[in-house]
Amino acid sequence: MHDESRRIEERVQRLHDQRIKTAVYAAAVPFEVEAWQAPGEPVPFEEAAAASYEPFTMGTPWGPPWGTTWFRMRGRVPEDWAGRRVEAVIDLGFVGDWPGNQAEALVHLTDGTPLKAVNPLNQYVAIANPAQGGETVDYLVEAASNPDILADNFSKVTPLGDRLTAGDKPLYTFRSADLAILDEEVWHLDLDVQVLRELMLELGEHDPRRHEIAHALDRAMDLLDLDDVSGSAAAVRKALKPVLSKPAHASAHTISGVGHAHIDSAWLWPIRETKRKTSRTFSNVTSLADEYDDFVFACSQAQQYEWVRDNYPKVWTRIQEAVKNGQWAPVGGMWVESDGNLPGGEAVARQFVHGKRFFIEHFGIETKGVWLPDSFGYNAAYPQIAKLAGNEWFLTQKISWNQTNRFPHHTFWWEGIDGTRIFTHFPPVDTYNARFSGEEMSRAVRNYQEKGGASRSLAPFGWGDGGGGPTREIMERARRLADLEGSAKVVVEHPDAFFAKALAEYPDAPVWVGELYLELHRATYTSQARTKQGNRRSEHLLREAELWATTAALHAPGYTYPHEKLDRLWKTVLLHQFHDILPGSSIAWVHREAEAEYARVAEELHALTAEAVSALGAGETRVFNTSPYDRADVVRTADGAPVYVKVPANGSAPLTDCAPQRPVTVDGRVLDNGLIRVEVAEDGTLSSVRDLRAGREVLAEPGNLLRLHTDLPNYWDAWDIDKHYKNRYTDLLDASSVTVVEQDPLIGAIRVERSFGKGSTITQTITVRAGSPRVDIETDIDWHETEKILKAAFPVDIRAPHSSAEIQFGHVQRPTHTNTSWESARFEVSGHRWVHLGEPGYGVAVINDSTYGHDVSRTVREDGGTTTTVRLSLVRAPRIPDPEADQGRHCFTYALLPGATIEDAVAEGYALNLPLRVADAAGAPEPVVSTEGEGITVEAVKLADDASGDVVVRLYESRGGRAAGILRTGFPLAGAQITDLLERPLEDAEITDGSVAVALRPFQILTLRLRRG
């Protein structure tokens, strides 16, 4: 037989694209359209309905950036259309094929009932099937003219990312708004041909099935009447039925399809627009559920449900019905799909607490799995946190984006730092926006790494990132692919059902130990530094407010614990941990609002803490220590005078000077407190840091070396830092002044000032305090660079085989060598409050109050010694998607801690991030809780969320070893229970002599619920 493949393939493509697809709608009549431009921000339906509308002509430009235009559309179904399937078809002037970041609209009835959204891949609204001739149609359409930030494929800087800079020129041209007849036979033929053609092209050239499909399509096209596609469609479909009916092979891979609509809670649009995106997408999803009984849609992010509940109650009711019918599956159990690295341990716990409680309260459903398809790597504490929240499985897809190494598994057990394992799956389709194309089906089978051990995977299907969700076309593809020879099989089902089957099939799946590091998007540890600083400080202010509110509730008559306020503030912070807000990868509008929100949160939390402290009564001036470790530190009185105080963990002490053994001396540029001696060079670097206790020099080369690198990644400016950034740099060694600014027996400080680049300045105050080996470097930057990254280096004289970086409820160790490609790919990593380097008998830590990104490297010197260098990533200057990212002022502190153990690093990390508070209070209430036993660290103290008055304490083992000790209470203890993260009892805790016995494995998290006597 002659090879006719090329002719057939080209013929099928042309007939499909130019004749079949264009005949899907058999006839159309235009709507009469009127328009009203809403001023400023979006308005409620009632205001839009009462507005004055003007006639609007198709082909007219509309929609300033971030504007809202309301269209009134009126039409009448022609009499001779009776009995046909009639739809409204609307084209707002869509660009490209991504629904998420361009013109979108929600169609309402005139009584305000939301019907359905329209976007470029979902332009219809069903009128009736069958229609009544003469039926009138009257809609109000809320159209959002969101700019297409991705128009230039992230290659050009744009001012469109903020309404303050976007201008008012219309972005779109309205193409059409029609009533139309859907020719269902042609529509189905369109899908038959698409599925078969795409399958054919994925099969091998020597596969008989490919040629069988090709010739079947060729013969079927002979039956297509080009002058009457509608009339001949049934015959064409009949000819294709035999090849569409052949069953899949018995060993065919099975794909569990789960409807999905990834909606970034903010990204290339502000939060206010996400509130509308949820209503649009969820309207589409509930409409699709009415049309397809076998449809199942998985949706995470309790915050988005709450937005719909509060703003679109009719859509909310439809969601509740879909949940009852088993077609809508709440998943994930988190408040938002947060970043996987940057939120603190307690914040990750609260993501689950608030998320799971929402689903339990509103749907009576406890979600079973973690759904995080798009976060940028996942910390090694996740398995334990997830399990303690009652989860059984974990799903992500993002690790498939690795730049260097291919992850070796798709289904596996993920083991965290404490030994907890959770059953985990990465969809081999490599997208969370699947549409069941032939290429996707082939890719899923080709990629699947568990061949021979397992035979099934999951595919989230539906348009996403900016919403849109599944479409009827995707559902029809799934039906055709349910059992089709040459393809994987598709079954649409709940993700819980998939995970149950996957576990039953593959219980001995391989194990991956430690973090799931994404070899991409490493700059998200640093971009938009003020957003990250706002998160860090909010987390610690929440801890402080909860501790002192609990103290006041226990000891101050008449004081009421502020449950509702704390709940609201936590949810605000959790929202801003979304994986495109906290990582710094959103447009300018998002980060401008985030900074304002963090300022408001800080103001309210300071007020709540002050209220709790003042409730303890007026009396003497006291110092309050929110840290879980005893403190000896220098604070300042109201007039600025330094005072050396000692304060117990989680407690308070009088503002009484407890003079340390050795004062601070300042001699030229040398600071000495008897524990360390710091020499500042003329260029402003640290020329020497000598640990006087150990009798050794800490630095191998000048420390606090500020290095400015050129930073232009290959792609994704705000997200990525590529390895070549290291090759071009300038060391900032021209200090304009090095000045002693404080010389007191308790504090010595030297200020270094620099100017560089495009008018940027840095002022650093290097401080040594009495009684402490910590060297603080308070940094004030006025930053005006572009496409640069600034790092601060500490080359220490330590041969460290690995570095240790704090993560949630513990720390991870990473090799300092690059023996393998996996180690080499970790050239930029994340950490929380500290990084530690150690060799037997000696260690050094670098502490910070708002920095996450860093790198660690080592070299061997000519003298045979090893220099291990920690470099903190301080600030970046990407221009896409926010052209002014990080511009302006930044104030933060980092510190060098010589002679540090891991426990020292933990304690000083808390100390730097939880400054001592000086306030008036009466008496000296005992700390709510105190612990005895090394490694036992209290992370949170609060009252139980059920308002029972029980005290909830969360603690963990922080050194990486076993811990045993006791927890004492500052109140009469009547009982104690070990609970899950949602404060539900698991078992009774052992009480001895009024205290709770505590025994922890390495990095174990323990939540105790304490009943007051």
**What amino acid positions are annotated as catalytic residues?**
374
Peptide bond into 65 cis (omega under 30): no
Is 177:33 a contact under the CB 8 Å cutoff? yes
Is 977:952 a contact under the CB 8 Å cutoff? no
1001: tokens are 């494995």
Is 987:1000 a contact under the CB 8 Å cutoff? no
Which helix (H) or strand (E) covers residue 611, if one does?
Answer: helix 588-615
Strand partners, 804: 813, 836
Give CA separation, 349 vs 264, 580, 957, in Å: 21, 19, 16
Residue 126 and residue 501: Cα distance in Å, rounded?
37
Give the total residue count for the chain. 1013
Residue 78, classified by CB atoms within 10 Å of its CB into exposed (0-12), middle (13-18) or buried (19+), is middle
For residue 9, the one-letter residue type is E
541: tokens are 């202010």
104: tokens are 């979108």
* Residues in contact with 885: Cβ distance below 8 Å, sequence separation at least 6, in sequence order: 527, 528, 584, 588, 591, 718, 876, 877, 878, 879
Token pair 């596609």 is at which residue? 229
Strand partners, 710: 788
Is 329:289 a contact under the CB 8 Å cutoff? no
Residue 496 and residue 502: Cα distance in Å, rounded?
10
* Residues in contact with 4: Cβ distance below 8 Å, sequence separation at least 6, in sequence order: 214, 215, 218
How far is C-alpha 349 from the chain's CA centre?
14
DSSP reduced 3-state for 322 = helix
* Residues in contact with 1011: Cβ distance below 8 Å, sequence separation at least 6, in sequence order: 950, 973, 974, 975, 976, 977
Residue 515, classified by CB atoms within 10 Å of its CB into exposed (0-12), middle (13-18) or buried (19+), is buried
Residue 324 and residue 492: Cα distance in Å, rounded?
17
Phi, psi of 990 (to 5 degrees): -80, 125
* Residues in contact with 272: Cβ distance below 8 Å, sequence separation at least 6, in sequence order: 41, 42
DSSP reduced 3-state for 439 = helix
